[in-house]
Amino acid sequence: MTHTHTLAVRVYYEDTDFSGLVYHASYLRFMERARTELLRDLGLGQRELLEAQGGLFFVVRAMTIDFRKPAQMDDLLTVETIVREVSGASFDLDQRVTRGEEMLVSAQVRIAAVEGGRPRRLPTEVREKFAAVATPRGA
């Protein structure tokens, strides 16, 4: 069974550019919103983590992104997120932005934790919560 987290995202003026389509970096904002909601659903508020852990932030370490089809103003999109791997210092996600049955954008994302600007191990609580919903890519 695959745990797929979903978030609905509406496209507004701010997300588009003069081509009439959604600006490419806007999809990264949509995917970040979905990761924040996934954390929240796991009981991990980022402001609380920041305070409790003495300055913990999550950062994107690497992304591979395919922009297949464009979204437009007023579109109602879905961001799907699947946790794939959890290691001591990072976790890997697959994310997709869809519009109904159409796949628009797909990405592989590696997230790491930093503290005071430096890499640090994931807190045990975070690692365990992610591991509990992980679906390895080959599974």
Asked if 42 and 129 touch (Cβ cutoff 8 Å), the reply is yes
| 1 vs 47, beta carbon nearer a second copy | 47
| 28 vs 131, beta carbon nearer a second copy | 28
- Residue 27, Cα to own-chain centre: how many angstroms? 10
| Active site annotation includes 74 | no
| Least CB distance to a second copy at residue 43 (A) | 13
Task: Give contact residues for a second copy (rule: CB under 8 A).
Answer: 10, 12-14, 16-21, 23-25, 28-29, 32-33, 36, 40, 45-47, 57, 59-67, 70, 72-74, 114, 117
| 21 vs 133, beta carbon nearer a second copy | 21
Catalytic residue IDs: 17
